[in-house]
Amino acid sequence: MHKNCLPPIHRIAAIGSAVAIVAASSAFGIGAVSASADELAPNTSVATSTSVDAPTVTPAPTGAPTPAAAPAAPTDPAADAPAAGTPDAPTATTPAVPAAATPAAPGAATPAPTAAAAPTATPAGTVTISGTTRAWRTISADTAGWPTGTTFTYRWDFHHPVLGNRYPGTERTYVVDPEQADGTFTVTVTGTAPGMTPTSVTSAPSSTVVVEDADRQFIYDQRVVPVTSGEPFSVDLAPADNPDLSFFVNGSISGTADPSVLPAGVTLSENGVLSGTLDSSTPLSDQIWVHVSTPYHPGGGLSERILLSVAPAEDDGGLSFSGGSSEDHAVQLRGQAGTAFSHTFQATGGPVDEPVRYSVVRPDGQPFPTSDIGASFPAGITLDPTTGVLSGTDDQAASYSFAVVATSGGQSATQYVDLRTTPAPAVGALVTVTRPGDVREQRTWIVKPDGSVETTWFPNGPQHDIAQQAGGRPTAAQGSTLLIAAAPVDAFGNITVPLDGDWDGRTPIGVTSDVASDVVERAGWNAEITFPHASTHTLTVTTQGVSTTFPVTVVPSAGAAGSGTTGSLAFTGADETGPIAWGLGLVASGVALLTLRARRRRV
């Protein structure tokens, strides 16, 4: 009998954009240019017009009346002036008037052409984000108030304190990725109305992205798909009911589509349904990877390995169950911590008029000892021997493997079962606090969502047994640093995030203090906080959208800056919880910490 429990409450391991708008403007000046006074000065010689249409004006002599305008110049140039010696010739000379078609003389100013009016900017409307910000769901950019005929382009930006804004989406809709937990989105829409220049508007931030345990299915996980030889099967692999998700299959964790890796008779639809018919003689591959894309992981960047397992067809004679004929093809049942569960087992066939009795045994056929209840079999769940109804409520998130045996007359049948109880929704953070200290002893404070504390330490060093006690308070010397790690837990103390293997959906914790001088720095997915001043400091630790608040006692140290004391005793590491403490420290590569006490036994 074996059981694969989800991580118990005190086993925590937290593993691991700027949009620039550039505007340019230009203006064209139009200047009026007039002729200079020198160009308009009277000519001392007789002027001759070369233009038929240009009028000739003769200015009056000084002190004489102003003469009327002269008639249009004749086409014969000789007619422009009286003959020499004629008695009627005027004494004043007549200035020449340039012809209308004559090009401007060198140096003369030319009027600038009139510039075309610049297009006006598109009047701005609004853009808002609609939809649920949960992994695998689609959110949309909704526009309103823009001119009729406006066309739009889009840019989705992801905001997170650590994760980058890679591959911003450019469609009106955006599929949320399971690795974007605790982030938010904005969308910038650029609208262009007919005949106008573009205008850009950015939405308000979306709500925070939520990622549940079930949403992490395609973060490089694997799944066994049991089928029965000769019987058609159909399995929907999609992590959510969303038509915007598109799937393909190949033979590796990355790459492009290659449906040839599927055995004969099996297909994968574009919407993620694996179906077909197999028999036990069909060669199977363990390199079948189903891929799904999101804007954050384009080109099938998220994948899950599929293992097909073919069981022999059920024997039609005698008492039998449908499915679950072996441990490798166990019936898969799901429950949730703290929620009532019920499933009915029903065997068919067998002797007529003979009642069927049901019992639960370990997978090896041996009875469950009392010590296995709550460890290898869920506490609070029972099987009715006459109806075959398995029901009850279990508050522990864990995986259990067992078998149900049906007997009738002299016949029996066995059905193998895997029951997985998932955590309830998170209600707070389980916080672990450690600090440097005496190398002979190590200590950690475990703070629960309700603020209660449990202290665990090695009285004789890390290679010896641990000691535990309820109560206590995290304590540090003035000027020293505490390491803080956290994980979200449900109302029953179950950690609600996966802690085994690569947890790509993780997000760094947040730590705030009511003392402004405290310095918080990231340490991988965890945080370190340094206390310049001695007093009681109230910390709030946030992870995956939930938080826990608790006090920390900071004790004055001799000579510490800002302590306001002189000659005070040096901090000894002692507090109300016991001996000198030493922090458990970080594990390599940003792993948060190793909690040394398990709330429940893991088998």
At which of 394, 422, 450 does a domain end? Answer: 422
Domain span including residue 394: 327-422
pLDDT of residue 443: 73
At which of 367, 400, 422 does a domain end? Answer: 422
Residue 296 and residue 346 in one domain: no
Residue 294 and residue 362 in one domain: no
Stretch 481-495: mean pLDDT:
92
At which of 422, 441, 460 does a domain end? Answer: 422
CATH code of the domain covering residue 388: 2.60.40.10
Residues 337-353: tens digit of each pLDDT: 999 999 999 998 888 78
> Which of the four pLDDT bands, split at 50, 70 and 90, describes residue 246?
very high
Share of the chain above pLDDT 70, in %: 67
Q: Is 479 a member of any domain?
A: no
**Between 155 and 117, whose confidence is greater?**
155
Model confidence, pTM: 0.48
Q: Judge whether residue 601 has pLDDT over 90.
A: no
Residues 63-118: tens digit of each pLDDT: 434 444 444 434 443 334 343 333 343 343 344 444 444 444 444 455 555 566 78
Cβ contacts of 351-355, under 8 Å, gap ≥ 24: 351/408, 351/409, 351/410, 351/411, 354/408, 354/409, 355/386, 355/408
Which one of 316-320, 497-501, 515-519 scores highest in mean pLDDT? Answer: 515-519
Q: Is 394 a member of any domain?
A: yes
**Residue 175: both structure tokens together:** 């599929």
Amino acid at 483: L
pLDDT of residue 315: 54
Q: Judge whether residue 541 has pLDDT over 60.
A: yes
Please provide residue 79's backbone torsions phi and psi, each rounded to the nearest 5 degrees.
-80, -5
Q: Is 404 a member of any domain?
A: yes
Q: Judge whether residue 596 has pLDDT over 60.
A: no
Residues 416-459: tens digit of each pLDDT: 999 999 899 999 999 999 876 555 566 789 999 999 998 877 66
Question: Can you tell me whether residue 446 is helix, strand or coil?
Answer: strand
Stretch 147-174: mean pLDDT:
94
HSE of 39 in the Cβ direction (CA atoms, 13 Å)? 11
Name every residue whose Cβ is closer than 8 Å to that of residue 310 and which is 6 or more positions away in sequence. 227, 228, 229, 278, 279, 280, 282, 284
Q: Is 302 a member of any domain?
A: yes
Q: Is 461 a member of any domain?
A: no
Number of domains in the chain: 2
Residue 306 and residue 340 in one domain: no
Residue 297 and residue 331 in one domain: no
**Residue 147: both structure tokens together:** 């001119």
Task: Calculate the alpha carbon distances from 477 to 534, 536, 541, 553 in Å.
Answer: 8, 11, 20, 8
Residues 4-29: tens digit of each pLDDT: 433 333 333 332 232 222 222 333 23
Residues 297-311: tens digit of each pLDDT: 999 989 999 988 887
Residue 409 and residue 347 in one domain: yes
Q: Is 416 a member of any domain?
A: yes
Q: Is 20 a member of any domain?
A: no
Residue 331 and residue 410 in one domain: yes
User: Would you list the DSSP string of 188-248?
Assistant: EEEEE-TTSB-EEEEPPP-PPPB--GGGGTTEEEEEEEEEETTS-EEEE--SSS-TT--EE
Residue 331 and residue 268 in one domain: no
Residue 361 and residue 386 in one domain: yes
Q: Is 221 a member of any domain?
A: no
Residue 265 and residue 295 in one domain: yes
Residue 279 and residue 340 in one domain: no
